[in-house]
Amino acid sequence: MFLKWKNLDKNITLASWVLIVFIVNNACLCLSNFEWGWFLVVLIGGLVLVRLGEYGLGFIFRKELVPVVIIVLMIPLLFFFPIVNRCIVPVIPGLRIRYQLLIVVLVCMMIIYGVYLLDKHYSLDRYIKNITLFAKRAMQILVILLAAKGVKDYYTVELPFLQRQTLVPSFSKTKDSCNIFLLVLDERPSEKTLKKYFEYSDPLGDKLSEYGFTVYPHAVSKYTSTYLSLTSLLNYGINTGHTNYFLNISKINDPEWVNDLKNNGYGFEEYSIFDINHTAMKNDKKAKLFSRRNFAFQLFNNTFLWNWLLFRLKTFDEYNQRGICFLKEKLIQSTILRRQLVYTHLLIPHAPYTKDSIGNYKYIDNNFNYLINNTKLQIPYLDYIKYCNKVVTELYESIKNDTTNLYIITSDHGARFNFMEEEDKKNTFTAIKWPKQIPIDSIKSHPVNCIQDIPGLINQLIFRVKKKD
């Protein structure tokens, strides 16, 4: 018989389902994006672990030590931000893999530890054998179902991306046209959001207006997720939906807008957490937080405690400082660059808040309190907002007299604190300095109400591409 249910004890718990769904789900994430190598690694690795588990941990360790061993092995996975922020979310492909892993670990640890300590009549060895036997049988069914769903998602989500506009610039390829500088400030809220929740009057918009920027106070993002928001933005505002993580990453790393510009004579440079056209590796190998080419990196990045402490409190700031230097250099070169799209993504004012208002580095010991405590959040968060403003104003002061290039400053989404209303989390800070060839009347008659509309608006105003109905 295919499933020998009689071999299973009746005390099969939630841990069985969580364990098998995690292994199969991540295998199907690879399969649905045709990453066959990693699919085999995850699936075969999972089967090997299941087989080893059938012999029971009691075979290796003294039974009295097993709960201790389990807890010690799981401690490196306990970093608090994803726990608090994600533990109530189901295990779905839209979540980052390390969040899924964390949920699985916590549930399994609690169940195994609880069963062993509270039910002395149910041995740990017998418990683990039942879990792993059930997992092995369930995998044979679930891998077929989830793989089919993954492949279905790939093709059904792929279709909307094919409905795209073609860039036909009014300039010849030999004639100079404006450079495009796109700066994304991760999680930068709008002025009205800061006023509503923190009673803070944000001066950044007024300062940028002095530099010739048009500020769009009502601009929002379609999504509150970084990779969904920017996938949509760089692919002409397409509705991505909460679908396969790797599919969205494949789209953001090969975006239609960037490809259209490159096909029409533009160069492309980036410093970002993505790997658009495989350019991030040229600037900073550590910058690639989102990648479809490196499954292992997604599985283990920010997972272990030592790596979390290093990355969250040190490497975040180092990444930002390198990005600031990158953009500063490109802005200085703005008068000599020709037909370039320069994309910079700074993790400011995204937590952790490692700078005070004037830019001095500080160790933050309450990064997690902001999820539930507005009072403890306010001072370090507003200091970081002020630091963000300082960085932006200093960077763009050098180009305040430039009227030939296009400068875009926006955020992927707004602040996402738990005490905020859901719609307010989509409010972004957005400002654009249009080149002088764009009439003022055209700028006023084309407001930016959604950041995902920016590439299409640029095509329409600068490259004279007619907007499709």
How do the domains of the chain map onto residue ranges? 5-158, 178-461
pLDDT of residue 253: 78
SS3 409: strand
Look at residue 398 and tell me whether its pLDDT is greater than 80: yes
Burial readout 352-378 (b: 16 or more C-beta within 10 A, e: otherwise): bbbbebeeeeeebeebbebbeeeeebe
Look at residue 461 and tell me whether its pLDDT is greater than 60: yes
SS3 330: helix
Lowest model confidence (mean pLDDT) among 145-149, 192-196, 452-456: 145-149
Q: Which of 93-102, 113-122, 199-208 has the highest mean pLDDT?
A: 199-208
H or E element at residue 128: helix 124-161
Look at residue 83 and tell me whether its pLDDT is greater than 90: no
Average pLDDT estimate for 262-287: 71
Q: Is 2.30.110.10 the CATH classification of the domain at 178-461?
A: no
Q: Has this prediction a pTM greater than 0.85?
A: no
User: For residue 317, what pLDDT band results from cuts at 50, 70 and 90?
Assistant: confident
- Separation of alpha carbons 374 and 396, rounded Å: 32
